[in-house]
Amino acid sequence: MTQVAVIDLGTGNLRSVAKAVEHVCGKSSRVRITRDCSQIDQADKIVLPGQGAIGSWLSALSDADLNTALHKALKTKPVLGICVGMQALFEYNQEDGGHECLGLFKGTVIRFENGRIAEDGSVMKVPQMGWNQVKISQSHPLWQGIADNSWFYFLHSYYACETNSAEVFAQTEYGIPYASAVAKDNIFAIQCHPEKSHHVGLKLFENFINWNI
């Protein structure tokens, strides 16, 4: 039986993420919401969700003494980062006064510019909240069965820039194009919320459960 750990850092729709994973894997996997290092070590796959501010996310990681367990998992297990869980994987995030992050991917996370004008003449609101398209730029096992330009649900004020194009696997347009999915080796991370993205989100979770590295 596959053991899946949804890491609990006190942010994000943890139960919604866990329920979505349970829905696609049925009885073949056991899904745990946890901040227990031993359960993270024992898990076969790791989901790293997040919602809200990077400062509280990183503080919770430190307060729960999860740094060692998480860094080990990031080197050895399939990991899916979601929203702030994706942003934390970059080098630096300007939110909350600025924070050094985990540095697994090249790039800096910055805030969308207020009042940017879209192509249709509308004013882009911050945060981006709602449905937007994900344009796939590189193939990946987690894209299997998901069409290019599929619609996913987003909720965020910050985005990754100065990224390494070799690590960018999808882009989304919100006034400017930005990296909405990155991947390398055993890690795949996406800016949107697949747990809120109906059938395409469930397909992404299914692909993650079936992903062998």
pLDDT tens track for 160-183: 999 999 999 999 999 899 999 999
pLDDT at position 82 is: 96
Catalytic residue list contains 162: no
Would you kindly state where each structural domain of the chain is located, as residue ranges?
2-209
Closest CA to 11 of 60, 46, 44, 45: 60
pTM for this prediction: 0.95
Catalytic residue list contains 199: no
CA distance 53 to 50: 9
Burial of residue 28 (number of CB atoms within 10 Å: 0-12, 13-18, 19+): exposed
Residue 82, phi then psi, degrees to nearest 5: -130, 125
Please report, in tens digits, the pLDDT of each residue of the chain (213 residues total): 889 999 998 776 789 999 999 999 877 789 999 999 999 999 999 999 987 789 999 998 888 889 899 999 999 999 999 999 999 999 999 999 999 999 999 999 999 998 777 777 778 899 999 999 999 999 999 999 999 999 999 999 999 999 999 999 999 999 899 999 999 999 999 999 999 999 999 999 999 999 998
The answer to whether 112 touches 127, Cβ cutoff 8 Å, is: yes
The answer to whether 196 touches 131, Cβ cutoff 8 Å, is: no
- What is the bridge-based pairing of β-strands 128-136 and 168-174? antiparallel
Catalytic residue list contains 193: yes
DSSP 83: T
CA distance 35 to 62: 11
Annotated catalytic residue within 25, 156, 167, 193: 193
CATH topology classification for 2-209: Rossmann fold (3.40.50)
Annotated catalytic residue within 25, 83, 101, 192: 83
